[in-house]
């Protein structure tokens, strides 16, 4: 089983994409590909999973390790997108599903 990406990044599942990106950049500076290639690969894989809102939502919905209630999920998503424009790339990736 792949490591829980939220755990790898040390971040709460309710974090929004901006926070995920910030955390990822900070970790890459600390564990650069040059200095810590293996750790970097883990961080990168975790980031790639979470970067895509569709896969991260899918994981929180269906992965047995996540036992959040639907209400919590909906609240998180609402908070993230409330009053914000949804990026074109997100809309496009939703269209692919």
Partner 1 sequence: METIIGIDLGTTNSSVCLIRNGKPAMIKDADGSAILPSVVGLDSQGRLLVGEPARNQAILAPERTVKSIKRKMGEATTVTMADTEYSPQELSAIILRTLKDRAAQELGYPVSKAVITVPAFFNETQREATRQAGELAGLEVVRIINEPTAASLIYEAKADHRERLLVYDLGGGTFDVSIVQVEGGVVEVLSSHGDTHLGGDDFDELLLDFVCQRFQEQHKLDLREIPTARSRLLQAVEEVKKQLSFDACVELNEEFIAERDGAPLHLKMELYRYEYEGMIEPLLKKTIQCVDDSLQDARLHAKDIDKIILVGGSSRTPLVQQMLETQLSQTPHQEIDPDLCVAMGAAVQGALIAGQDVGAVLVDITPHTLGVQCQGFVHGMPSPHEFSPIIHRNTALPATRSELYSTMFQGQKAVEVKVFQGEDEDVRRNQFIGGFVLDGLDESADAGSEILVRFDLNLDGMLNVTAVERSTGLEDRLTIKNAITEFRAEGHEEARAKLAEIFGDRTSPVSAARHPVSEEPPLPEGERAAIKEAIQLIAKATNLLPQVGEDDVQEIQELIEQLEDAIANHSLPDIGSYRERLEDIVFYLQDA
Residues that bind partner 1 (CB under 8 A): 22, 25-26, 28-29, 32-34, 37, 40-41, 44, 89, 92
Q: Which of 37, 58 has the CB closer to partner 1? A: 37
Question: Within 10 A of 91 (CB to CB), how many other CB atoms are there?
Answer: 10
Least distance from C-beta 34 to partner 1, angstroms?
6
Closest among 74, 63, 70, 28 to 48, alpha carbons compared: 28
Q: At what angle do helices 70-81 and 53-62 cross, to 10 degrees?
A: 160
Shortest distance, position 74 Cβ to partner 1, whole Å: 27
Q: Which is nearer to partner 1, 38 or 71 (CB)?
A: 38
Looking at residue 29, the DSSP 8-state letter turns out to be: H
- Interatomic CA distance for residues 72 and 49, integer angstroms: 20
Q: Which is nearer to partner 1, 55 or 73 (CB)?
A: 55
């Amino acid at each position: 089983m792949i490591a829980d990406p939220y755990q790898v990044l040390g971040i709460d599942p309710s974090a929004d994409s901006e926070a995920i990106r910030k955390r990822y950049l900070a970790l890459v500076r600390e564990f650069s590909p040059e200095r810590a290639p293996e750790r970097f690969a883990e961080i990168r894989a975790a980031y790639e999973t979470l970067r895509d809102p569709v896969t991260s939502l899918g994981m929180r919905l269906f992965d047995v390790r996540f036992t959040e209630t639907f209400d919590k999920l909906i609240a998180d998503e609402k908070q993230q997108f409330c009053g914000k424009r949804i990026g074109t790339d997100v809309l496009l990736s939703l269209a692919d599903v």
